[in-house]
Amino acid sequence: MSRQVCPFHTDESVVGQLLDDGSTSFECDRASGHPGNQPWFWLATPAPPSVPELSGLAEELGLEHELPAAIADLGHGWFEYGLVERSYAQRQPEGFARMVAQWGHTAIDKKQYTASAYLAGTLGRLSRRSAVAYHPGVGTGRWSYNTNISWWSTMPPGDWNNRTAWVDEVGDHSARAQADDLACKSYMPA
């Protein structure tokens, strides 16, 4: 059983909920004392497999600045993980291509560890430092195989009712929406 301490209440230790992908979602029990006067969640993910040439990749690519900037580009409110990944890939195509080349991508091949897992793990570390805000939710559209997926907001987080899902933005509902989805997959190399 995994316990961690809320970054805003150092005397508040909470039990995490283990998610299907091996990460753990935490929610502080206290209702107040968090940024934006919102409930506070954070995400802890397993360390990536040890690959020597990738140690320090997040620092090298400046992800601690680039990922909050990718969320900020999407606007205010909460955004489903896939939208954050797409925003990052559009802002930093070379950085994303490098991760996909190393880790693969779920849209390309099913692998145990993917570029998406690496990006979500990095976002999770940023959420523990309250550089971004995390909220658990469900995946939509082609991410809907994830019954638990991460949602992200810039700091301070707004109301959870103000959120944008992958299907809201990209579609997946109709032939036209599927064409849009295919077009947006073009951010992925190969």
* Min dist. Cβ of residue 181 to Zn ion (A): 37
Asked whether 48 and 118 are in contact (CB, 8 A), the reply is: yes
* Min dist. Cβ of residue 43 to Zn ion (A): 15
Assess 128 for contact with Zn ion (CB under 5 A).
no
Asked whether 143 and 119 are in contact (CB, 8 A), the reply is: no
* Min dist. Cβ of residue 30 to Zn ion (A): 5
- Estimate the crossing angle of helix 63-74 against helix 115-128, to 10 degrees: 90
Assess 8 for contact with Zn ion (CB under 5 A).
yes
Judged by beta carbon, residue 113 or residue 160, the one nearer Zn ion is 160
- The distance from CA 72 to its chain's CA centroid, rounded to whole angstroms, is 13
Judged by beta carbon, residue 30 or residue 142, the one nearer Zn ion is 30
Judged by beta carbon, residue 9 or residue 91, the one nearer Zn ion is 9
What mask, x for binding Zn ion by CB under 5 A, covers residues 30 to 49? x---------x---------
What mask, x for binding Zn ion by CB under 5 A, covers residues 14 to 33? --------------x-x---
Q: Determine the size of the site formed for Zn ion (CB under 5 A).
A: 6
* Min dist. Cβ of residue 19 to Zn ion (A): 20
Asked whether 24 and 3 are in contact (CB, 8 A), the reply is: no
Partners of 133 in the beta sheet? 153
* Min dist. Cβ of residue 148 to Zn ion (A): 21
Query: Where do contacts with Zn ion occur on this chain (CB under 5 A)?
Result: 6, 8-9, 28, 30, 40
